[in-house]
Structures are given as C-alpha cells and as structure tokens.
C-alpha cells in the first residue's frame, strides 16, 4: 500500500480539495489493495476515507453510497456521503477508487439490555422505511452482500469447490451450512427491505446526544430484514468466552425482541426461518472462507471453532427469541 502520510493525502487534495489533513487507519488488518482511514480536518467534522485499487469495478463502493444517499433523503441517522469536488460519489485517481463519508463521533456500544433494545429499535426503523421510495431512488439501491439470491449461489459454489477436501469429521457441519443457505435461497416469500448487512453493536455508535447510529454500511442494500435481526440475536453473545458453548442470554435476547417488535411486526415466513436467520451469519462466513478454512490442521483453526460453536448455539437463541415474540 502507498505511504498513507503522502499518497492518500494527495488523493484527498486532488479529489476533494482538502489539504492539511491527518489520517488515522481504521483497518484491523492491512491490505495492499485497500485502505480505510479517519480523516481529521481542521475545524470541521471528520471524514472516513475508503480507498480501493482499480482492479475491478466500483460496485463495492457504489452500493453503500446509494444506500446512504437514500437514508439521508429519509432523515435516517447514518453517515453522510461526501462527494468529490466535481460531484462524483466515487472518486478515481492514480489507479485508486475513493469513497468518503462523514465520521460519526461517539462511543461504540456495549451489550447491556438497555443498549441492545435501543439498537434493535434503530434497526427496525431502518426496515420500515418506504420500500417504494427505496426502489425509486437514484442511483438505485443494489442487493446487499447477504441477499440470498445474490450471495448464496456464490457461497454454495465456494463450499462445492472444496468438497473433495472436506474431512469426514467436518462433513456434517458442511451439510448443515448448505441446508441453511438452501432454505434461505428457497424462501421466496420473505419480506425485502433496505438492510444494513452486518448489524451488531460493534458497528454502531452512541453519539454525544445519546443517539444510536449504525456505521460501516459496506454490506448494505436490499435484502431480508430477518437476517439483520438474526445477526443481532447472535452477536449479542460475542462477549461470552469465544471457545465455549454459547448460553442464551435471556436479558439480551428479550431486549432485542422488545426493541425490534415495538417498531416492526415479523411475518409468519420470518418466524418460520428465524433459527436459520440466527445461523446465517456463521454459515455465510464459513462458506465465503471455505477454501481458507478447509486445510491441513483444520481442527486447530480457532476461527472455524468459533463459527461452529456460534452455528450450534443458534437453535437455543432462536427458541428463546421466538418465545418472547409469541408472548407479544
């Protein structure tokens, strides 16, 4: 990756007419093909810069741009898109694409019931935004990276590509993953809305005025809202010991259901697939990373162990969640 103290500052000056900025990396891991930075501006609100090498098209950046523009039109709290100095949503310079949004100041959320209730309510408010308005927006909102008709075909292909290398001890789990993905692919009657795509407390901020704001909209777009809810129900258990069996957190689950259902009522088809919705995040990430996970020495793979434990814990989590839903 180019030196961020010089190259990316030059990009910002050329594309956004901003100089004298400071950059702070927001990436957990460093990649040569992309960078994510907080841009510190003098006497102004900070920005987030995403820069991606021009090895492919701009869809990775245009997807969240379209979603965030729609959310701004609807007055929904989220980062706002910062266009280039010539009004482009995605900039292009010296072999790199750039996408800039405002930086949401605040603190990442904890997993207390009160906070989870508020996060679930914020998520449900996203899911009840006008679908007609979302369909008509320009540029058009695209499918989320977790939209079943878009993502599952690729996921199943990834698992199939390693089918001849799957150890006998892992075969049952792979079959379960295929089954979960397949049921979503066949569930044609699920409601579709604008979804976040990676909805959990690690992707949300409490601002100084006590507002809950979701951040990191890279996976957003059209999709089944039950996937966002399933992700919330699973991830509220991520503070438990990572390599132990998940124990359903009754207080956390009930808070999420209460906060969500105050804003939106689940359909029968969503209730029927709730268990798979809680499993979906684990199945999705295993399938997308199957080639890396199925290798010699896989029993010692910590990431794979965590995915399997989270997948297996989904049944009890969904059972508790459904009981609260049915209690009204």
Sort strands 212-214 and 204-206 into parallel, antiparallel or unpaired. antiparallel
Looking at per-residue pLDDT, the higher value among 300 and 226 belongs to 226
Fold of 108-326: Aminoglycoside 3'-phosphotransferase; Chain: A, domain 2 (3.90.1200)
For position 313, what pLDDT does the model report? 97
pLDDT, position 59: 77
Check: CB of residue 88 under 8 Å from CB of residue 158: no
Which CATH superfamily groups domain 7-103? Phosphorylase Kinase; domain 1 (3.30.200.20)
Q: What is the mean pLDDT of the chain?
A: 92
User: Which residues have CB under 8 Å from 167's CB, separation 6+?
Assistant: 294, 298
**Count of other CB atoms within 10 angstroms of residue 268:** 8
CA separation for the pair 230, 215 (Å, rounded): 18
User: Are the C-beta atoms of residues 194 and 37 closer than 8 Å to each other?
Assistant: no
- Per-residue pLDDT at 297: 65
CA distances from 278 to 140, 181, 187, 232, 290 (A): 29, 12, 15, 8, 19
The b-or-e profile of 154-180 (16+ CB within 10 A means b, else e) is ebbebbeebeeebeeebeebbebbbeb
> How confident is the model over 304-324, as pLDDT tens digits?
899 999 999 999 999 999 999
Residue 52 sits at φ, ψ, to 5 deg, of -130, 135
The pLDDT of residue 150: 82
Q: Which two tokens stand for residue 202?
A: 């690690």
Query: Which two structure tokens, joined as six digits, stand for 279?
Result: 């499993």
Residue 127, pLDDT above cutoff 70: yes
Collapsed DSSP state (helix, strand, coil) of residue 223: strand
Under the banding of pLDDT at 50, 70 and 90, the label for residue 4 is: low
Q: How confident is the model at residue 272 (pLDDT cuts 50, 70, 90)?
A: very high
Q: What is the pLDDT of residues 85-118, one digit of tens each?
A: 999 999 999 999 999 999 999 999 999 999 999 9
Cα 62 off chain centre by: 16
User: How many angstroms separate the CA atoms of 17 and 24, rounded?
Assistant: 19
Over residues 116-123, the mean pLDDT reads 98
Let me know the angle formed at the C-alpha of 275 by 273 and 279, rounded to the nearest 5 degrees: 110
Q: What is the pLDDT of residues 61-90, one digit of tens each?
A: 999 999 999 999 999 999 999 999 999 999
Strand order in the sheet with 204-206: 107-108, 204-206, 212-214
- What's the pLDDT at 301? 80
The stretch 267-281 carries a mean pLDDT of 97
Mean pLDDT, residues 188-211 taken together: 96
Which residue ranges make up each domain of the chain?
7-103, 108-326
- Whether the per-residue pLDDT at 299 is higher than 90: the answer is no
Residue 193 · residue 267 · CB < 8 Å: no
């Amino acid at each position: 990756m180019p030196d961020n103290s010089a190259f990316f500052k030059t990009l910002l000056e050329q594309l956004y007419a901003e100089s004298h900025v400071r950059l702070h990396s927001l990436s957990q891991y460093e990649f040569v093909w992309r960078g994510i930075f907080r841009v510190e501006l003098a006497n102004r609100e900070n920005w987030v810069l995403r820069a991606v090498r021009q090895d492919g098209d701009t869809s990775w950046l245009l997807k969240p741009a379209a979603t965030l523009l729609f959310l701004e039109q609807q007055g929904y709290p989220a980062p706002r898109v910062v266009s280039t100095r010539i009004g482009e949503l995605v900039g292009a310079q010296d072999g790199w694409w750039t996408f800039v949004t405002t930086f949401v100041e605040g603190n990442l959320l904890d997993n207390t019931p009160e906070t989870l209730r508020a996060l679930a309510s914020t998520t449900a408010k996203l899911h009840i935004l006008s679908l007609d308005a979302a369909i008509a927006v320009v540029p058009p909102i695209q499918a989320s990276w977790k939209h079943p008709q878009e993502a599952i075909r690729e996921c199943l292909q990834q698992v199939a590509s390693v089918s001849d290398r799957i150890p006998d001890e892992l075969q049952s789990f792979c079959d379960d993953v295929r089954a979960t993905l397949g049921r979503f692919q066949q569930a044609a009657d699920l409601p579709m809305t604008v979804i976040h795509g990676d909805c959990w407390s690690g992707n949300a901020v409490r601002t100084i005025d006590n507002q809950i704001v979701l951040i990191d909209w890279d996976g957003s777009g059209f999709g089944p809202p039950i996937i966002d809810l399933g992700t919330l129900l699973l991830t509220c258990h991520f503070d438990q010991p990572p390599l132990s069996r998940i124990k359903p957190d009754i207080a956390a689950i009930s808070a999420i259901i209460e906060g969500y259902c105050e804003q939106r009522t689940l359909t029968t088809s969503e209730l029927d697939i709730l268990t798979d919705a809680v499993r979906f995040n684990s199945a999705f990430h295993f399938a997308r990373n199957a080639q890396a996970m199925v290798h010699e020495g896989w029993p010692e793979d910590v990431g794979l162990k965590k995915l399997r434990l989270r997948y297996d814990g989904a049944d009890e989590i969904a059972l508790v969640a459904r009981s609260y839903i049915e209690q009204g």
